[in-house]
Amino acid sequence: MAALVAGFGYQFYHKFRELQTLRGRQMAYQERIAELEERVSDLAREIEELHHNPDRLEMLAREKLGLAGENEKIFIIETAPSPAGE
């Protein structure tokens, strides 16, 4: 009888630890989901703003993509690395 109780006790303890581990993972996943939902919300607001604010869209296109407006030219000036010691 004692062996049976010890066996059940061991199984209970093992399952209890497994449950704690799974609950910890669940909490971590819930936190990550909340972070991603907030990011999605931020991106949706930004998309909505870009639909209604063409000036901001143009600014982002210029800054992030290096695009130019009509009849504009972009000059890229590269500098040579200076020799060591100068």
Task: Say whether pTM exceeds 0.85.
Answer: no
Structure tokens, 21: 């581990």
Which band of pLDDT confidence, cut at 50, 70 and 90, is reported for residue 86? low
For residue 24, being part of any structural domain is answered with yes
Structure tokens, 73: 């030219």
For residue 57, being part of any structural domain is answered with yes
23 vs 62 pLDDT, higher one: 23
For residue 28, being part of any structural domain is answered with yes
- What pLDDT digit, counting tens, does each position of 65-83 carry? 888 888 888 788 888 887 7
For residue 72, being part of any structural domain is answered with no
Domain interval for residue 23: 12-65
Structure tokens, 58: 């143009």
Number of domains comprising the chain: 1
For the chain, report the end-to-end CA distance as a whole number of angstroms.
87
For residue 35, being part of any structural domain is answered with yes
For residue 52, being part of any structural domain is answered with yes
- What pLDDT digit, counting tens, does each position of 5-45 carry? 777 787 888 889 999 999 999 999 999 999 999 999 999 99
For residue 55, being part of any structural domain is answered with yes
